[in-house]
Chain A
């Protein structure tokens, strides 16, 4: 079966750094996406990785290791507005996205 695992909830402090992990087992791999979803809102795109390594975009970075079936999203200089759920999704061999349940990130002052 196909499976995406990520922690249910994490807590971090404003100004700090947090790493959200995602492990996956899917039938085929055509890229990994991270989305942000604020409570009651739609998911919005954060990053895409298809090759191993780190992709940096401002305060957010995403890492991929295809051999380990592993990715992480790194958020630096945390702000209160970063309180949201972070969704990991893998595009499988049929070009369909398989979604994790999301990690709820709580930022404390």
Chain B
């Protein structure tokens, strides 16, 4: 039972390059989330999904796209990376959106855009 996994763990991009971050969970959770974490700031929600085939925008969606083709996977894409997207990206999942259902986090992807 791996929980939530993310690939890659580290990546360096040049401005304008594209990449996809992969998140996978084996807990059969309906809800999945992508956050970014920057120094001195709280986690900020980029996009989220309430089930297979659905996605929705969070607080900071610009410059990112997502897809949830399979229930266990949630992909985050950067079409044209910018230095402002240098951050640590966390994927999380939960069984429900409300109540005491905690979010389980992946180990993070550390992305640097030069």
B: contact size bracket: 20 to 34
State which of B42, B58, B99 has its C-beta within 8 Å of the C-beta of A96: B58
Closest to B39 in A: A101
Residues in A with CB closer than 8 Å to B43 are 43, 87, 89, 97, 99
The CA of A4 and the CA of B43, in the complex, are separated in Å by 11
Closest to B105 in A: A42
CB-based contact B102/A41 at 8 Å: no
Interface residues of A in 20-47 (CB under 8 A from B): 30-31, 33, 41-45
CB-based contact A31/B100 at 8 Å: yes
- B2 within 8 Å of A by Cβ? no
- A31 touching B99 in the complex, CB below 8 Å, given contacts A43-B90, A96-B58: yes
Q: Interface on B for A, CB 8 Å cutoff?
A: 40-45, 48, 58-59, 90, 97-100, 102-108
The 7 closest A-B pairs by CB, nearest first: A99-B42, A42-B105, A45-B102, A95-B97, A99-B43, A48-B100, A95-B98
- A44 touching B105 in the complex, CB below 8 Å, given contacts A87-B43, A99-B43: yes
Residues in A with CB closer than 8 Å to B58 are 96
A: contact size bracket: 20 to 34
13 A-B pairs in the complex with CB atoms less than 8 angstroms apart: A31-B99, A31-B100, A41-B108, A43-B43, A45-B102, A45-B103, A48-B100, A91-B98, A97-B103, A99-B42, A99-B44, A101-B41, A101-B42
The CA of A56 and the CA of B99, in the complex, are separated in Å by 18
The CA of A87 and the CA of B58, in the complex, are separated in Å by 19
